Amino acid sequence: MTEMTYLRAISDGLRTEMRVDERVLLMGEDIGVYGGAFKVTDGFIEEFGPDRVMDTPLAESGIVGTAVGAAVVGLRPVCEMQFADFVSCGFDQIVNVAGKMLYRQGLPVNITVRLPSGGGFSGGPYHSQNPEAWFMHAPGLKVVAPSTAEDAKGMIIASIRDPNPVIYMEHKNLYRRIKGEVPEGSYETPFTARTAREGTDLVVIAYGGMVHTALEATHDLDGASIMVLDLRSLVPLDEQAILDAVRLCSKVVIVDEANQTCAAGAQVSALIAQYAFEDLDGPVVRVASPDVPIPFSPPLEGAVLPSVDRVREACRQLLEY
């Protein structure tokens, strides 16, 4: 085990898999010589060369579309969208070409698309988004969102090995803020939920960056026993883990950093309403960003993103219900 940041853990996972599988290549804007906008691939071009750490034209549809072509003839491309926001330019290739290829003609598309997502640092409307729900709604795509360094490494390796297209959400606000012990060598983290903290009075369900917000908001909340469930994967969604947690705790708060309408949390909420209604001792409570573009100025952005205080207050009110 080595302690490293979330960002280094992603790098470690990519490097580990590239060393054992020569089919893996990285494609993206400024990822080679420059090492990536966030330096996830810093030093890679020296080890693997410019063919496998490919500086591409500024063309997100091109990155995904060519990755699909390379994948169906035997490579395993990992695409980096410089910011998750820019994936809108590659949306069509992901949703209509990659996501439907297997269903339509029995041809799997083994690509991974990395999306540095999330706000909290004045990135403004085009460098702060959490677009994971766009892809949850499109059949044929897996969507994962690790929150710890260990999972970040294990899930990037699992994503590369998964024969399906995987959208890998990596929260920028975790990159250097979160550190953890990471196993050496190669391992896969399954696309299932993880209990981030045990508890019995209330469960907070979150993923990605919001797992840490949830942990901080509830680590000492009036002595209540609060469970935090880290979904880790949104597609497939670990429905059993969600329902088990609700049955155990009977009260649930769901936290999304994404805009609230039709977000991942809305799906979790619907699942609970349909299958765990009898187990609830209170309304399903959601905390998410309101449906506004993520603003630039710190007080405005702070008013939009779910904060520790908002999550704590939501839990407190539900506990008193």
**Which of 283, 285, 305 is closest to 296 using CA atoms?**
305
* Choices 56-64, 144-152, 251-259, 263-271 (CB under 8 A): range interacting with another protein: 56-64
Cβ distance 139 to 103 under 8 Å?
Answer: yes
Interface residue with another protein, options 118, 140, 154, 180 (CB under 8 A): 140
| Residue 12 backbone phi and psi in degrees, to 5 | -60, -40
Does the annotation mark 127 as catalytic?
A: yes
- CA angle, corner 124, sides to 121 and 130, nearest 5? 80
Cβ distance 289 to 257 under 8 Å?
Answer: yes
Interface residue with another protein, options 31, 45, 97, 249 (CB under 8 A): 97
CB 71 → another protein: shortest distance, Å?
8
Q: Does 150 bind another protein (CB under 8 A)?
A: no
Interface residue with another protein, options 30, 42, 108, 187 (CB under 8 A): 108
For 41, 52, 89, 191, the CA distances from 111, given in Å and listed in that order, are: 17, 14, 17, 16
Complete edge-to-edge strand list for the sheet that includes strand 76-80: 53-55, 24-28, 76-80, 112-117, 166-171, 142-144, 233-235
CB 299 → another protein: shortest distance, Å?
37
Q: Positive or negative CA dihedral for 116, 119, 122, 125?
A: positive
Nearer to another protein, 166 or 305 (CB): 166
Cβ distance 170 to 176 under 8 Å?
Answer: no
The tokens for 105 are 């003609």
Catalytic residue among 127, 137, 212, 219: 127
**Which of 85, 194, 215, 86 is closest to 146 using CA atoms?**
194
CB 156 → another protein: shortest distance, Å?
16
- CA angle, corner 26, sides to 186 and 98, nearest 5? 100
CA 315 – CA 202 distance, rounded (Å):
8
* Choices 68-76, 117-125, 217-225, 240-248 (CB under 8 A): range interacting with another protein: 68-76
CA 76 – CA 73 distance, rounded (Å):
9
Please list every residue from 153 through 212 that binds another protein, using CB under 8 A: 162-164
CB 84 → another protein: shortest distance, Å?
20
Nearer to another protein, 158 or 249 (CB): 158
170 forms bridges with which residues in the sheet? Answer: 116
CA 303 – CA 300 distance, rounded (Å):
5
* Choices 90-98, 170-178, 215-223, 313-321 (CB under 8 A): range interacting with another protein: 90-98
Nearer to another protein, 66 or 128 (CB): 66
Interface residue with another protein, options 72, 243, 271, 303 (CB under 8 A): 72
String marking each residue 242-271 x if it binds another protein according to CB under 8 A: ------------------------------
CB 237 → another protein: shortest distance, Å?
13
**Which of 148, 169, 160 is closest to 26 using CA atoms?**
160
The tokens for 291 are 């449906």
String marking each residue 210-239 x if it binds another protein according to CB under 8 A: ------------------------------
Nearer to another protein, 51 or 278 (CB): 51
- How does DSSP classify residue 59? -
Size of the site for another protein (CB under 8 A): 38
Nearer to another protein, 106 or 185 (CB): 106
Nearer to another protein, 144 or 252 (CB): 144
Residues assigned a catalytic role:
127
Binding site for another protein (CB under 8 A): 25, 51, 56-57, 59, 61-62, 64-75, 92-93, 96-97, 100-108, 139-140, 142, 162-164
